[in-house]
Chains A and B, each alone.
Chain A
């Protein structure tokens, strides 16, 4: 503990002095021109360690997210790798016209949104429910073991996941059809039936990610002030009431933030898994924007068209995030920014 001479209301005395100086500078009109710069300089000099820690992230953003934005212009160009980004001729909106006159692209957009919607509807609540359930488990060893087991699928690569899914749903040897057989149903060749693709895909996603996704919510639950539970116990609340009246409202900001992030990713269906699981027979429900781009754009080297589709994806995602963020801020005062 610091003693009172150096501490004013929990803030080190040093900072208080600097804040006061800065406040003084602000009020002096003669120096207004350089005020903000001087303040920034002072601030940087004072907090340089923190900015140093931030630096790698900033570099990462510049190299991997901002610099590539330069290449986005190929969405409006007839791009040739040899001619380069700058040397390729402009073609205006041609690639976008190609996209939106293509029925399969429009179907892919529809499929993407539908699959994402199911993912949101069924996949988003799953880790929350799981976290709440873990929170109620009292036996420590049992809890740890169960948590490890549900985290594990997250670390398995999509290729192996798809292998497991294909085997499990196989019409001759799969466990699912074996069970159906016991119950007296006919075998179903699930992975070639368009109506089964989405349930299988969304279900696989939940199985794979619900456990790992629950970590964030468990952390939020751990941050709930224990005195709230203590006073609830004194007031005679049961566990169910404590969960609904204390835990859920306390982690609601986390839930909303995660929801906003999730909505921003609505155009990003995990397309590796789609590619591994789909067949021409299931394109009707399974083909998403990214798999379409992969087949039409990358496999045949049409990077410009692929970039146009990617840009479209990004714009839609941006609008969705903005909307979700605004709504969240208005109704719950929780928002990303």
Chain B
């Protein structure tokens, strides 16, 4: 009885705060319909039916999601691409009506054609006007999510906003040494060298670490300063696409020159001596110990380190535009990818595929998208001049993303289109200044959005890519550490890669790419 009253109170409460419910234009079913869901994501391993966003979505659409997550405490990993929870779910033989997860693309594109997931092309065309309208505008993204059989098997999470990582530098150190902001690769080198030799932190020791990174593959991105390429997307060591041709950064001559120079920088102490083993705490440690000079890292989180100015006299860590390469090009290789391999799919035993796709479509409607991005009106945000603005009370609760996850918003295991406005509202001033700086130039280059393989192509990829990647990374680290000279070893390296099937691999990548994106 008490539960009932509580539920009733909740219902009336939200009915008052969300007037949109009053009209029924978003309702999908007359009688409430229950669908089971599996949801896994690295950041919030457990799906909650009581999330405020779920509650409102339930009232608006009439569809009630029941948690049926297998392996709820298992994480899907962004970097290694592990999807153990999904594998476990599939191995258990019981696929819920809806499956949402990060790293779901390769998974559904492999098992969808085998019959484990419902193909979505017709369902979208007939029952999902909002999703269809989005894809009509972005055919490249529609192509990117498709499996090799031309079908879509999942509705993706679509990030918004352009920028990801940027170059950062201790501008107070520049001032202390009377240096200008580096504009070219030569000037950048000179600045890093000055950081090493002229004791900008003033403790009398040459303990400064001029360039450091949290994830060592970020170091490799510096080869863009010598017109090379490192990672073709926000997945490390990924292939790249240039003018419709698939290639790999690690076989380019710019890469060769870049590595040769990075080896020199490493030998001269311009790069963190422990670059490969320092790990994820590098930024935290080196900045708070007043040792780190420059890095390549995310806007928002890195800008936040300026709070250290209360502990370190004059501390200022600011973004600067990519230094011009040897040929004068300014390139920022990393960007926010247009479509994530995260999202949700319909399991093959789902008896209500039409209602389900309409539910997916709801999150692409204006109200649904706002709900997925900002949470619940009145509870998390207010409408100001027709745009959602987070309430101060909500922003004061602590890290905004965490609060949103706890409300059931910004769940990347849900297919929805992010609204960058949500992030901008609480981005710190240093990150904002950096983003505005990058906005004045045109430094971004197109990402490789990935391909789906046929079974035969998959075999070639499986046979060759793992070994090729290992070999490339092995040589890469060795060269930087000074074991071997990239200039002298280059021809042998390329020959070895060809011997391992590099050309076959590029060929299947190319044919898959042309099939998917139309040559």
For the complex, what is the distance from the CA of A298 to the CA of B84, rounded to whole Å? 9
Among B87, B477, B478, B500, max chain A CB count under 10 A is at B478
For the complex, what is the distance from the CA of A84 to the CA of B478, rounded to whole Å? 42
Tell whether, in the assembled complex, residue A80 and residue B477 are in contact, meaning their CB atoms are under 8 Å apart. no
Cβ-based interface call for A172 (8 A): yes
Tell whether, in the assembled complex, residue B477 and residue A281 are in contact, meaning their CB atoms are under 8 Å apart. yes
In the complex, 11 of the A-B residue pairs with CB atoms within 8 angstroms, ordered by the A residue number, are: A80-B110, A103-B467, A172-B274, A189-B273, A194-B483, A281-B477, A287-B470, A296-B466, A299-B80, A300-B81, A301-B87
Q: Which residues of A contact B93 (CB under 8 A)?
A: 84
Hey, what's the 0/1 contact readout for B87-103 against A, CB within 8 Å counting as 1?
10011010000000000
For the complex, what is the distance from the CA of A309 to the CA of B130, rounded to whole Å? 48
Tell whether, in the assembled complex, residue B474 and residue A170 are in contact, meaning their CB atoms are under 8 Å apart. no
Least CB distance from B281 to A in Å reads 10
Cβ-based interface call for B58 (8 A): no
Q: Which residues of A contact B110 (CB under 8 A)?
A: 80, 301
Cβ-based interface call for B471 (8 A): yes
Hey, what's the 0/1 contact readout for B477-508 against A, CB within 8 Å counting as 1?
11001010000000000000000100000000
Cβ-based interface call for A274 (8 A): no
Tell whether, in the assembled complex, residue B466 and residue A280 are in contact, meaning their CB atoms are under 8 Å apart. no
Tell whether, in the assembled complex, residue B483 and residue A104 are in contact, meaning their CB atoms are under 8 Å apart. no
Given A189-B273, A280-B473, is A300 in contact with B87 using a C-beta cutoff of 8 Å?
no
For the complex, what is the distance from the CA of A284 to the CA of B470, rounded to whole Å? 10
Tell whether, in the assembled complex, residue B274 and residue A170 are in contact, meaning their CB atoms are under 8 Å apart. yes
Q: Nearest CB to that of B86 among chain A residues?
A: A81
Mark A residues whose CB is within 8 Å of B: 80-84, 98, 102-104, 166, 170-172, 187, 189, 191-194, 279-281, 283-284, 287, 295-296, 298-302, 305
Interface 9-mer from B28-36, B111-119, B171-179: B111-119
Tell whether, in the assembled complex, residue A283 and residue B273 are in contact, meaning their CB atoms are under 8 Å apart. no
Least CB distance from B513 to A in Å reads 19
Cβ contact of A192, chosen from B82, B111, B481, cutoff 8 A: B481
Q: Nearest CB to that of B82 among chain A residues?
A: A299
Tell whether, in the assembled complex, residue B467 and residue A102 are in contact, meaning their CB atoms are under 8 Å apart. yes
Q: Which residues of B contact A166 (CB under 8 A)?
A: 277
Cβ-based interface call for B443 (8 A): no
Given A104-B471, A300-B466, is A82 in contact with B90 using a C-beta cutoff of 8 Å?
yes
Cβ-based interface call for B462 (8 A): yes
Tell whether, in the assembled complex, residue A192 and residue B277 are in contact, meaning their CB atoms are under 8 Å apart. yes
Among A103, A279, A287, A295, max chain B CB count under 10 A is at A279
Least CB distance from B460 to A in Å reads 12
For the complex, what is the distance from the CA of A84 to the CA of B500, rounded to whole Å? 32
For the complex, what is the distance from the CA of A29 to the CA of B466, rounded to whole Å? 67
Q: Nearest CB to that of B476 among chain A residues?
A: A280
Q: Which residues of A contact B467 (CB under 8 A)?
A: 102-104, 296
For the complex, what is the distance from the CA of A6 to the CA of B207, rounded to whole Å? 84
For the complex, what is the distance from the CA of A300 to the CA of B463, rounded to whole Å? 11
Q: Which residues of B contact A83 (CB under 8 A)?
A: 114
For the complex, what is the distance from the CA of A287 to the CA of B116, rounded to whole Å? 36
Among A172, A191, A194, max chain B CB count under 10 A is at A172
Least CB distance from A192 to B in Å reads 5
Tell whether, in the assembled complex, residue A81 and residue B91 are in contact, meaning their CB atoms are under 8 Å apart. yes
Q: Which residues of B contact A172 (CB under 8 A)?
A: 207, 273-274
Cβ contact of A283, chosen from B463, B474, B481, B500, cutoff 8 A: B474
Cβ-based interface call for B276 (8 A): yes
Given A104-B467, A192-B477, A280-B477, is A82 in contact with B111 using a C-beta cutoff of 8 Å?
yes
Q: Nearest CB to that of A174 among chain B residues?
A: B274
Given A296-B466, A299-B81, is A280 in contact with B277 using a C-beta cutoff of 8 Å?
no
Least CB distance from B48 to A in Å reads 27
Q: Nearest CB to that of B90 among chain A residues?
A: A81
Q: Which residues of B contact A194 (CB under 8 A)?
A: 483
Least CB distance from B258 to A in Å reads 17
Q: Which residues of B contact A104 (CB under 8 A)?
A: 467, 470-471
Given A172-B273, A192-B277, A300-B462, is A284 in contact with B474 using a C-beta cutoff of 8 Å?
yes
Instruction: Across the A-B interface, give the 3 residue pairs with the lowest CB-CB distance, nearest first.
Output: A280-B473, A281-B477, A296-B466
Q: Which residues of B contact A300 (CB under 8 A)?
A: 81, 462, 466
Least CB distance from A96 to B in Å reads 13
Q: Which residues of A contact B82 (CB under 8 A)?
A: 298-299
Among A170, A191, A280, A299, max chain B CB count under 10 A is at A280
Least CB distance from A24 to B in Å reads 56
Given A81-B90, A104-B471, is A98 in contact with B273 using a C-beta cutoff of 8 Å?
no
Tell whether, in the assembled complex, residue A192 and residue B114 are in contact, meaning their CB atoms are under 8 Å apart. no
Least CB distance from B491 to A in Å reads 19
Residues from 446 to 468 in B contacting A, C-beta threshold 8 Å: 462-463, 466-467
Least CB distance from A188 to B in Å reads 11
For the complex, what is the distance from the CA of A103 to the CA of B497, rounded to whole Å? 12
Q: Nearest CB to that of A301 among chain B residues?
A: B87
Q: Nearest CB to that of A279 among chain B residues?
A: B276
Not counting A280-B473, A280-B477, a sample of 4 additional A-B residue pairs whose C-beta atoms are within 8 angstroms of each other reads A81-B111, A104-B467, A192-B477, A305-B462
Tell whether, in the assembled complex, residue B474 and residue A281 are in contact, meaning their CB atoms are under 8 Å apart. yes
Among B81, B87, B274, B471, max chain A CB count under 10 A is at B274
Q: Which residues of A contact B276 (CB under 8 A)?
A: 191-192, 279, 281
For the complex, what is the distance from the CA of A129 to the CA of B324, rounded to whole Å? 63
Q: Nearest CB to that of B77 among chain A residues?
A: A299
Q: Which residues of A contact B111 (CB under 8 A)?
A: 80-82
Least CB distance from A274 to B in Å reads 14
Q: Which residues of B contact A81 (CB under 8 A)?
A: 87, 90-91, 111
Q: Nearest CB to that of A299 among chain B residues?
A: B80
Tell whether, in the assembled complex, residue A295 and residue B466 are in contact, meaning their CB atoms are under 8 Å apart. yes
Q: Which residues of B contact A82 (CB under 8 A)?
A: 90, 111, 114-116
For the complex, what is the distance from the CA of A191 to the CA of B83, rounded to whole Å? 30
Tell whether, in the assembled complex, residue B474 and residue A189 are in contact, meaning their CB atoms are under 8 Å apart. no
For the complex, what is the distance from the CA of A280 to the CA of B479, rounded to whole Å? 11
Least CB distance from B190 to A in Å reads 23
Tell whether, in the assembled complex, residue B273 and residue A171 are in contact, meaning their CB atoms are under 8 Å apart. yes
Q: Which residues of A contact B473 (CB under 8 A)?
A: 280, 283
Q: Nearest CB to that of A190 among chain B residues?
A: B277
Hey, what's the 0/1 contact readout for B43-76 against A, CB within 8 Å counting as 1?
0000000000000000000000000000000000
Least CB distance from B153 to A in Å reads 13
